[in-house]
Amino acid sequence: MELEQLVAFERVVREGSFSRAAWALGIAQPTVSARIAALERSVGGPLFRRGRKVGLTERGVSLLPYARRVLSAVEDGLEAARLSGSGLRGQLNVGVLRSLSGGLLGPVALEFAHRYPEVEFRAREGDHWSLVEWLCDGLTDLALICWPPLDPALADMTPLFTLREETVFAVSSQHPLARQGHVTRAEILEHCRPFLLLRWWQSTPLEITQLAAQSGFAVDVPNETGRFLAAYGKAGGFFSKPTILPDLSAGRVVELEVTDLPPIARETALVHLSRHSQLSAAAHNFAELLRLEARRQKLLQG
């Protein structure tokens, strides 16, 4: 049984005539008759009652709903393939660092869902090494990871673009240091208790680990816990700007310049596996939206 035989069968039913079916399909009537005859051999008997008016046999009545279901499924599949090629349908799996999953990925995911509602979009957040593992295992198509990776075995990663996140030292707007606008390391050690050692680095910068060691009251916490402690307690810590931006905008925390520390930043990149050189249209569309949002937030390098 071939698809063209089912097409001929369904068209004869719809038109009520072999000749009109042939005209609608743009083929000769003998071709339609040959296809119906081949289909009848496959099902073991006649599908039509021939005469002045063509009608379905009991066997034809039984076959018709299944034939239409097959043809509809084929049409849906062709349409899905066409839309997938344009990025309007398909599936996209993205991995993102936890520190960027809200402030950066949030608005991008919202815009992507609005523009491409037929694309099945999944995002997974994790630390750098989890993201690398998921990408290598094929669980994600793209990943926003720390860059460059410290492990030379990760040479199979190709960056689409890189970002640079400023580090913000933040304390509660009610903190004793909040009105100063700037602090020194000594003031951090004296007034920020606890000192927040936050988990958003591939490798925590030496300046921050030294402050944690000197503090005597440092806590190693995830970013979301750190945000709460900074906003509602006497804690202070170095946050990624996209992470702490909602709290800064809401006035829950303030940014303080640390005068005796050099600027600290983290570089990240949206990457894919080099061996997967051909990205899907959906992946390209997502990457472009992420690039635009990163430029808006002044994170984009180059």
Give percent above pLDDT 70 in the chain: 93
The Cα-based distances of 23 to 68, 72, 75, 250 in angstroms read 20, 21, 21, 69
Answer whether 84's CB lies under 8 Å from 282's CB. Answer: yes
Q: What is the pLDDT of residue 196?
A: 96
pTM: 0.65
Higher local confidence (pLDDT), 153 or 7 = 7
Q: What is the pLDDT of residue 72?
A: 78
Query: How much is the average pLDDT of 195-205?
Result: 88
Strand blocks (E) in the chain: 48-49, 55-56, 90-97, 119-126, 142-146, 157-172, 182-183, 195-198, 218-221, 236-240, 253-258, 265-273
Confidence of residue 76 (pLDDT cuts 50, 70, 90): low
Residue 154, strand partner residues: none
Q: What is the pLDDT of residue 85?
A: 56
- Residue 43 pLDDT greater than 90, yes or no: no
Q: What is the pLDDT of residue 69?
A: 85
Q: What is the pLDDT of residues 97-136, one digit of tens each?
A: 988 888 889 999 999 999 999 888 999 998 888 898 898 8
Answer whether 167's CB lies under 8 Å from 265's CB. Answer: yes
What DSSP state is assigned to residue 275?
Answer: T
Q: What is the pLDDT of residue 195?
A: 96
- Residue 210 pLDDT greater than 90, yes or no: yes
Q: What is the pLDDT of residue 80?
A: 61
- Residue 39 pLDDT greater than 60, yes or no: yes
Q: What is the pLDDT of residue 277?
A: 67
Residue with tokens 């000594």: 186
Query: How much is the average pLDDT of 164-191?
Result: 93
Q: What is the pLDDT of residue 152?
A: 65
